[in-house]
Chain A
């Protein structure tokens, strides 16, 4: 009943000894740490720049640490490092609220429908169930640009607003294939003697699903909810084509803040990028295993 990502370390294996091996071990750690630094470099830039008042942002010292505390200004009464964060917060906070309103329902509804589909396609099958599965799965791989023109036309002709509600619907719909895939693979992987017993007892499909399968499904739900939440939160494509600045999600607001920025205002843009990334980063740090579980299921293999 757990999610295995397949990347956890196995039992330690005996490793050879000797000077040559020790040297290559050192070289390996040096390399690993070097890559660690390179991967974290953009984060350093984001944090450091976001804490510098605009006057302190200049090319020569751009990689340096801030030269004053973030609550101090260059000239008395001038902007401080924290002012960047205030500007970013003001620009993004309404959109951050809206994005929660978008991402949470989108994650819950797609996950629930995906669980039903996954259950039926793995455990309560019907003739040609494999065809139906492939039919559903295809939706996961299409570039969304392929449906964008008629989708935009459809939205206009139905008179749907350019707001979070419309985007929520869209994310629910296009989240169905991946949620179905994740749950199908999840249900295939867990033993379900109870389900078979319930079926033999003559319990109906819905009752079996509700009282036997759903209680075993929590790890699957954690994976799909995280996946859906993250992709809805980070989405820019649907947001740009189907919503607008005033009513759209945080990705649009951040893009606006960043594109409007002159070099002097990079600090606010970077503070904004950190703010906008915070929810998904927290999810990654707290529930990393499930996040990776979702990622790995994207490669179809069960």
Chain B
């Protein structure tokens, strides 16, 4: 490696604007957020005191916040399970060669190009909670198909309502997970499959011992990406139900706190969200960096 400032000065100079900008707007603002979360700035008035982790204790013992975490948990569970299921199924069906594969692929993936706000417009209609004669949306389909027992109040259900909110999210992201799995399937060297077949492996054993192990890094990527999108969910809920208690998640609670000028509270919620995401992302980034280093 060449040494000396003459060699590494210019490239460092070229990235320095980005380093400074992100230093301020990512790292600086995260620090500022944590500092606000430890103050008593609950109104437009400037903060008076440093209160340590008082806001965190208050929030984590508050029923309303725990309810928003419960909602987030249900949403995340169904969102991840749904996208992984359909994403894998579609990729698996398409992998073995299908006529006009491109058409299926493009259609399955297209909801990804649409905003949550736009899809929220139509899903609000599809998830209309009216039943029987007044039913529209999905409940109307069930009614007309004689599957009336499937009619349900969707997101108005107090326990499982968030699973209904996960439906549009699954609709939008399954195609993405499909694309990830498809790239995984197609990254498996054909020789590997051939060798296993030559050894007389059954189709199931082929999957069990060759395909699944090769797919696991992709599955992990998909899980992390969908999981971290799920923890941040905001647009979709605002578009379908607005910020109401029934469908509240930490991100919409933050919006309510911030518009009420309770800066300390919104900052506290934000830090908790950041921690939740970090628990997911940081080990993944370390894992990827190691894998890449080993690959070189």
Q: Which residues of A contact B (CB under 8 A)?
A: 5-10, 12-13, 15, 28-29, 31-32, 35-36, 39-40, 42, 45-46, 49, 59-60, 62-63, 113, 116-117, 119-121, 124-127, 129-130, 132, 134-139, 141-154, 173-174, 176-177, 180, 204-206, 230, 233-237, 240-241, 251, 254-255, 258-259, 266, 269-270, 272-274, 276-277, 280-281, 283-284, 288, 291-292, 295-296, 298-302
Q: Are A177's CB and B22's CB within 8 A?
A: yes
Q: Are A298's CB and B225's CB within 8 A?
A: yes
| Majority-rule SS of A interface residues | helix
Q: Are B125's CB and A45's CB within 8 A?
A: yes
* Chain A CB within 8 A of B121 CB: yes
Q: Are A292's CB and B109's CB within 8 A?
A: yes
Q: Are A153's CB and B263's CB within 8 A?
A: yes
Interface set, chain B 247-296, CB cutoff 8 A to A = 250-251, 254-255, 258, 263, 266-267, 269-271, 273-274, 277, 281, 285, 288-289, 292
A-B contact pairs, 28 of them (CB 8 A): A7-B179, A7-B182, A36-B108, A39-B171, A40-B107, A42-B111, A59-B135, A59-B140, A60-B140, A63-B144, A116-B15, A126-B12, A132-B15, A134-B289, A146-B273, A148-B258, A234-B116, A240-B238, A241-B255, A241-B258, A258-B120, A273-B121, A277-B114, A295-B112, A295-B179, A296-B180, A300-B288, A301-B217
Q: Are B187's CB and A6's CB within 8 A?
A: yes
Q: A49-B125, A233-B115 are in contact. Are A120 and B267 (CB under 8 A)?
A: no
Q: Are B285's CB and A138's CB within 8 A?
A: yes
Number of chain B interface residues as a range:
35 or more
The proximity string for B residues 19-33 relative to A, scoring 1 for CB distances below 8 Å and 0 otherwise, is 101100110011011
Interface set, chain B 68-98, CB cutoff 8 A to A = 86, 90, 93-94, 96-98
How many A-B contacts are there with CB distance less than 8 Å? 280
* Chain A CB within 8 A of B245 CB: no
The 8 Å CB contact of B140, one of A63, A117, A292, is A63
Write out the residue numbers on chain A whose beta carbons fall within 8 Å of the beta carbon of B182.
6-7
Write out the residue numbers on chain B whose beta carbons fall within 8 Å of the beta carbon of A236.
115-117, 234-235, 238-239
The proximity string for B residues 165-188 relative to A, scoring 1 for CB distances below 8 Å and 0 otherwise, is 000000100011001101100110
* Chain A CB within 8 A of B119 CB: yes
Q: Are B90's CB and A146's CB within 8 A?
A: no
Write out the residue numbers on chain B whose beta carbons fall within 8 Å of the beta carbon of A273.
117-119, 121-122
- Give the CA-CA distance A121 to B141 in the complex, in Å: 54
* Chain A CB within 8 A of B164 CB: no
* Chain A CB within 8 A of B198 CB: no
* Chain A CB within 8 A of B106 CB: yes
Q: Are A205's CB and B10's CB within 8 A?
A: yes
- Give the CA-CA distance A204 to B221 in the complex, in Å: 38
Write out the residue numbers on chain A whose beta carbons fall within 8 Å of the beta carbon of B18.
113, 117, 136, 176, 180
The 8 Å CB contact of A146, one of B15, B33, B116, is B33
Q: A139-B22, A204-B10, A236-B235 are in contact. Are A230 and B29 (CB under 8 A)?
A: no
B58 to chain A, nearest CB (A): 16
Q: A59-B136, A259-B242 are in contact. Are A148 and B180 (CB under 8 A)?
A: no
Write out the residue numbers on chain A whose beta carbons fall within 8 Å of the beta carbon of B285.
134, 137-138, 141, 300
Q: Are B274's CB and A149's CB within 8 A?
A: no
Write out the residue numbers on chain B whose beta carbons fall within 8 Å of the beta carbon of A46.
121-122
Q: Are A6's CB and B118's CB within 8 A?
A: no
